[in-house]
Amino acid sequence: MLLNYLKIAFRSMQRQKGYIAINIIGLAIGMTCCILIMSWVFDELSYDRFHENIDNLYLVISVDNYPNNEKKYFGVTPPSLGPVLIREYPEIINTSRFRWYGKSLIRYNENTFNEDIVAVADKSIFKLFTFDFLQGDIETVFPVPNSVVITKEMREKYFGDDNAIGKTLQIDNEHYFTVSAVIDNLPGNTHLKFDFLLPIEAVTTLGGELDNWGSFSYRTYALIHNNTSPETVNKKIESVFREKANPETIMTAVLQPVSRLHLHSSHISMAHDGDIRYVYIFSLIALFVLLIACINFINLTTARAACRALEVGVRKVVGARRKEIIAQFFIETILLSFIALVLALLLIETVLPMFNALSGKQFTLGKIASTAGIAGVIGIVLLTGFISGSYPAFFLSSFKPAVVLKGFLNEGARGSFFRKILVVGQFAITIALLICTILAYKQLSYIKNRNLGFNREYIVNIPASDKFKDKYDVFKQDLLANPNIIKVTAGSDRISHVRSSILLYDWESKNSPTPIEIFRLFVDEDFCATFDIKLKEGRFFLREFNDSSASRVVINETAAAVMSLNDPVGKRFGDDGEIIGVIKDYHFSSLHDRIEPLALFCSPGDMHFISVRINSQNIDNTLNYIRDVWVEVLPEFPFEYSFLDEDIDRMYANDRRISEIFNYFTTLTLFISCLGLLGLSSFII
């Protein structure tokens, strides 16, 4: 019986080559889009799932609770919190502190590189999370405080094929750490990334401190017992900051599942950057593209009903039952779907490099066709066959032999009306996607043209080590000797990405017991002049007033408004600070965020970024000059730079990615719809 069905299916395809080709091409494009998008969705949903303890693993979140029921969430905590949690709360099995230490200079013999992902953590992190040890083991991972664990990629980068255990790396030309273990490269679908991991005790060696309730710069992970409810733990640890740090604090602590960090933490500052909404949006896009391809199939099949009517009539006369005819049409549809799948796999192989660049992933055809991938692909084929074949199978099998054999076939108003509904439906979906594409484009256009409150053109950003602070004045003066260099300034953060904040508990004329969160940026006297930031009241920092050694502060308009200061200049800020000026608001974070209160302090020593405004002419020569001065002043550190406008553009890479994805898949959806309309029109003509 099955063999007979297949013979009839192939004969039918041979007789209708043009329409079959249209159906196969439409289904193949729909499957290609669906498989690629679902691969991206599955990868997003798989974040951190490979850790053995993932179901009981949590990140401790700090929460600011304001009187107006507003809450702010932060993915960082003080370093003192972890030991307290494991010591005083029996529901918690173990904890680990973790902190990215920022850009560091790593040296081994002649190999010297500026590395971005250097971190410190408790030894217990290897018991909370799952890592594959290639050399060394979990018991001897940090035998001494100056140990370091590196990834396979870093071992090959610094030591080649040599055994890395026992080799010594120099960090920032000052500290020496011995490799105690090598782990496999961390997968892309994890939020916890590092290339070099130092023991938590190394913080004191690097100039930090661990016994401090005021430094919110560490992640604290907690592993709880199997039968323990996280809500129960939340109630117990909620008041830990009031009990251990400050009885008047508005901050509480809660647990956030690590399994939800990637996609469900958009409300948490300094958490991860995924968003479950994009998973929903792209899943719908995949479904819509596939649905439109299936609608084409249904339309063309029902429109060609007359061509199959005699076949159905004869089969019924010789004894075929309706369910057998339905099975026949389903098998034909599924066969077409598998032929379309072969074409879809060829298309995937062709467009995969472009899709990887677009999505930021590293998919391969082998990865997509993994065990779970094969099941998903087969599911897509069967779903396509079922959706495409359902209506045609039931519609064609309903023909009455006495009518069709006399040549009086008429599909009726109902069949024609249903097909019109399908055509209108698929173009409605296409138009909806087109509108979304236009909105995404307008969003990008708004981001590109929005006035940020400062001049971002021709600014060169140079990351600087703490070791540079003593040589900054010399470096600055040497740069300004070049007429193509207009201004030079330094700050603790990039102007477009200020991360540090404090809780301000007291100020002059305070009329509420509630503290406010205020972002903090350390700058030098030329900050406003370099970025063309406008001063609203008072003055900016001046070297002749010795502002860098006094507790003077400049705030933005939002800070003045939140502090309810009508005339802020001269008012007290904190215990002994003084407000000397107010600057116009500018966006110091993403445009997705509102402008928050900001306080500027004059402290040229607290620098991590140097910003140089250059002339728009002779840019290459100016960059070479800056490099030469850098090498002369600080030869042991490699020179790196980026342009501020490029840094800002990178902040919106996800927005661009979303816009491009909408653009590509809307174009394909429009193409599939027009392809079906072409086939339908050709048949009617």
* pLDDT tens-digit series, residues 431-474: 888 888 888 888 888 888 889 999 999 999 998 877 777 888 89
pLDDT at 409 over 60: no
**513 or 652: which leads in pLDDT:** 652
The reported pLDDT for the residue numbered 457 is 93
**178 or 35: which leads in pLDDT:** 178
**144 or 364: which leads in pLDDT:** 144
Mean pLDDT along residues 544-552:
84
- Grouping H, G, I as helix, E, B as strand and the rest as coil, residue 610 is strand
* pLDDT tens-digit series, residues 349-373: 899 988 888 887 888 887 776 655 6
Contacts of 100 (CB under 8 A, 6+ apart): 117, 118, 119, 194
- Residue 305: band (very low, low, confident or very high) from pLDDT cuts 50, 70, 90: low
Mean pLDDT of the chain, nearest integer: 85
Q: Return contacts of 155-164, CB within 8 angstroms, 24+ apart.
A: 155/179, 155/182, 157/111, 157/113, 158/106, 158/108, 158/111, 159/108, 163/135, 164/135
Strands (E), 334-381: none
The reported pLDDT for the residue numbered 393 is 65
* pLDDT tens-digit series, residues 31-63: 888 888 888 888 899 999 999 999 999 999 999
The reported pLDDT for the residue numbered 420 is 75
* pLDDT tens-digit series, residues 226-285: 989 999 999 999 999 989 888 878 889 999 999 999 998 888 876 667 788 888 888 888
**How is residue 349 written in tokens?**
């192989």
Burial class (CB in 10 A: 0-12, 13-18, 19+), 582: buried
Domain boundaries, the chain: 2-46+276-445+660-684, 54-269, 466-636
- Residue 377: band (very low, low, confident or very high) from pLDDT cuts 50, 70, 90: confident
d(CA 511, CA 177): 52
**619 or 418: which leads in pLDDT:** 619
**How is residue 122 written in tokens?**
């408790």
Identity of the residue numbered 328: Q
Which residue's structure tokens are 């603790």?
Answer: 492
The reported pLDDT for the residue numbered 476 is 93
Residue 207 CB: number of other CB atoms within 10 A?
10
Q: Are strands 196-199 and 118-121 parallel, antiparallel or unpaired?
A: parallel
Contacts of 366 (CB under 8 A, 6+ apart): none
The reported pLDDT for the residue numbered 372 is 54
The reported pLDDT for the residue numbered 400 is 65
Which stretch of 117-126, 505-514, 533-542, 638-647 has the lowest confidence by average pLDDT?
A: 505-514
CA proximity to 150, closest of 172, 122, 131, 124? 131
Residue 442 CB: number of other CB atoms within 10 A?
11
What's the DSSP call for residue 579? E
Q: Give the bridge partners for 290, in sequence order.
A: none
The reported pLDDT for the residue numbered 74 is 87
The reported pLDDT for the residue numbered 7 is 65
Helix 322-359 and helix 653-684, axial crossing angle in degrees, nearest 10? 150
Q: Are 87 and 94 in contact (CB under 8 A)?
A: no
Q: Are strands 147-151 and 175-183 parallel, antiparallel or unpaired?
A: parallel
* pLDDT tens-digit series, residues 179-218: 999 999 999 889 999 999 999 999 888 777 888 888 888 9
pLDDT at 562 over 80: yes
The reported pLDDT for the residue numbered 413 is 45
The reported pLDDT for the residue numbered 306 is 56
**412 or 60: which leads in pLDDT:** 60
The reported pLDDT for the residue numbered 12 is 62
* pLDDT tens-digit series, residues 328-345: 777 777 788 888 888 988
Q: Are 96 and 105 in contact (CB under 8 A)?
A: no
pLDDT at 126 over 70: yes
Which stretch of 325-329, 524-528, 626-630 has the lowest confidence by average pLDDT?
A: 325-329
